[in-house]
Chain A
Amino acid sequence: ETGVTQTPRHLVMGMTNKKSLKCEQHLGHNAMYWYKQSAKKPLELMFVYSLEERVENNSVPSRFSPECPNSSHLFLHLHTLQPEDSALYLCASSQDAGRADSPLHFGNGTRLTVT
């Protein structure tokens, strides 16, 4: 496989459920990201990991909990979400941590619906 792979593609969960989103990159990149894309807002950066260390938490509520066990894998653990958390969650990676010119490579996203 090549590129950035996200699973599942679609997820429906109740507000009391716990679920996890998974992202895997096969590009040998050092940095990984979670973005949220909702209908009425621009793409919002949630978390950044560089060399498996979290370097940015963009004021994200604690009901979203990221995990980066190695440079190829990134998870987003979800619990007690709200309906307004329904969105497309995009994972991305970039080659070089710390380089503003390094393009992001995105996965297909997970379409999350909270009921």
Chain B
Amino acid sequence: AQKVTQAQTEISVVEKEDVTLDCVYETRDTTYYLFWYKQPPSGELVFLIRRNSFDEQNEISGRYSWNFQKSTSSFNFTITASQVVDSAVYFCALSGLGYNAGNMLTFGGGTRLMVKP
């Protein structure tokens, strides 16, 4: 069975602080994919990044960066110089091979990030 744990349920920071959201996963698949989604107050989940299990290179996109460490089964997400618009719930998710169709993601419980001005 697959499992995703986001231990931080809520984080509050002041604007311009850096913040890291933790994600730890469990899977028996050797090939799998990890995702981060952002859910602003409007409700829709917005896809941020996908990482496959064979690519441990860290990725940076503007103020966002992701640290994938297979040895610790973690896929952490860092926002540098946070802004009020970053306030949202962030979900880490995992999918693996072995399904017949579709992409059946296992989601973590989410981390609510509040960035105060």
A66 at the interface (CB under 8 A from B): no
With A42-B107, A42-B109, A108-B42 known as contacts, the answer to whether A98 contacts B102 (CB < 8 A) is yes
Contact B50 A103 (CB under 8 A): yes
Provide the bound-state CA to CA distance between A111 and B43, in Å. 9
Size band of the interface chain A makes with B:
20 to 34
**B102 and A101 within 8 A (CB):** no
Tell whether B103 is near chain A: CB-to-CB under 8 Å. Answer: yes
From B52, B95, B99, B103, residue with most partner A Cβ within 10 Å: B103
The answer to whether residues A45 and B47 also contact, given A100-B32, A103-B35 and a CB cut-off of 8 A, is: no
Does B57 reach chain A (CB closer than 8 Å)?
A: no
Residues of A in contact with B (beta carbons under 8 Å apart):
4, 31, 33, 42-43, 45, 48-51, 55-56, 88, 90, 92, 94, 97-109, 111
